[in-house]
Amino acid sequence: MNIIYYNITKYIHKIRSEYLKSSFITSTANIIQAFIGIIRNKILIYLLGPNALGLYGQINQIFFSISNFFGFISSLGAVNLIAEVKEDKNKIKKIMGTFLSLQLILVFLFYISLGFINYNNLFLGINKYNNLLYIVLISIPIYAVIANVSNVYFLGFIKYGKWTKFKIVTNIINISIFVFLIFIFSTKGIFYYFSGISIVIVVYFILIIDRYMGIKYFFSIHFEKEYIKNFISYGGILTSLSLLNMSVLLNLRKIIIAEHGLTENAYFQVGYALSNYYLPLLTNGIWFYIYPKFSEKKLSFIEEKTILIKTIKEILLIGIIISITIIVFSKYIILILYNSSMLNAILVLRLYVIYNIIYVFVYLLQTIFLAKKKLLLYTMFNLLNVLSLFLIFIFFLNHTSKNLIIALLISKFITLIFIVLVYYIKHEKMVQSNIIKFNK
């Protein structure tokens, strides 16, 4: 798979656009990860049966849901700071030391919680796996902290090539460990596997950091007040909004299930699941290039505008090609991924594709708000989107999967209009300001 990566990236590096280059390169890791996921599911089904697949899915959900808890000390806040001072290694050391220290406080709090909270009853409910589950729980903070620290390095220094290689190598090692553990320990191997991936990410990331920057810059203890506020404000807002968006969508889908059954909800899942395969091609470049680039203080308004317009054109080009392809071949895509019983999801899938184009534009503009530390605006637009989605679906539409997509599309379009208005007002103010300076 590394050979595939290098052959693909050899041609991608000829692309001049940093946004497209970062999107295409990082998407190779997503494609390989999806392929490995298919292999893993086949192994579980073939060797251990459907129950093992269900157990794996539940442990996987527990592992990454708890990992998100450590996102309360946001790595994006650290990325924002690193992008501003990337030439000053002393400041980098203080930023990363403070970030790591706060992460370790969360680790300490989580480990204390293990003595008071019965996570088995809360998330799994199978007593015979109680001890095995706690082996997984102990390893989660190790994985989460290193994952967050690695995000700061790869995003803050715009190292999307190294991130891609990092993901590919760790995924190949992980699937190898998975196969070995399943063959040796059967169902218990699932639990040992999740502990194993924590060790893999720690060892490999330390090797990368030691080679390219030095461990001392990323693993030290500091408590700088000016940075603490940044980490907590970013983390608190992002975590809260993420939970709000997730809970609203889950409850709207719950209404669909209550009124029309699981099959109707499955139609929505077709579009939702497929978007996870192709959206990274459009969104990865936003995180790996646009976010750190717009976090730099030295970027002028004219440079920002040039990059933004160019990126919008590129998103439109790729988005339209992907959308037309999916819309035209939607029937065959559903038959390949599912079966003929899901053909009623064709219209839902086509609407979801149109929604995703608007979603990516909103995603791009909101990411720039984050990069420019406009947290209030970022929060307001997220709340506008969630509120309009809820009101439109509950009060103006029948509660079907098709109408949920329509509600998502309308609410996202309303949000886009308001964001564009804010950008227009900002642009006019900058133009007027430059005219005044020129006249003086």
| Boundaries of domain holding 111 | 2-227
| pLDDT for residue 1 is more than 50 | no
Average pLDDT over residues 319-333: 89
> Residue 191 falls within a domain, yes or no?
yes
| pLDDT for residue 182 is more than 50 | yes
pLDDT tens column, 217-235: 666 677 777 777 777 777 7
> Residue 428 falls within a domain, yes or no?
yes
Phi, psi of 159 (to 5 degrees): -100, 60
Average pLDDT over residues 354-375: 88
Do residue 198 and residue 247 come from a single domain? no
Average pLDDT over residues 29-55: 77
Do residue 301 and residue 190 come from a single domain? no
Do residue 422 and residue 282 come from a single domain? yes
Do residue 214 and residue 313 come from a single domain? no
> Residue 261 falls within a domain, yes or no?
yes
Query: What pLDDT sits at residue 434?
Result: 52
Do residue 201 and residue 281 come from a single domain? no
> Residue 67 falls within a domain, yes or no?
yes
Do residue 272 and residue 362 come from a single domain? yes
> Residue 235 falls within a domain, yes or no?
no
- CA dist 12 and 368 (Å) reads 25
Do residue 264 and residue 127 come from a single domain? no
- Angle of helix 50-69 relative to helix 188-212, nearest 10 degrees, comes to 40
> Residue 315 falls within a domain, yes or no?
yes
Alpha-helical (H) ranges within 291-400 are 291-295, 301-328, 330-337, 346-371, 375-396
Do residue 79 and residue 214 come from a single domain? yes
> Residue 440 falls within a domain, yes or no?
no
What b/e sequence results for 40-53 when a residue is b if at least 16 CB atoms lie within 10 Å of its CB, and e otherwise? beebbeeebeeebb
Do residue 45 and residue 85 come from a single domain? yes
Q: Number of folded domains in the chain?
A: 2
- CA dist 219 and 209 (Å) reads 10
Do residue 197 and residue 294 come from a single domain? no
- CA dist 311 and 290 (Å) reads 9
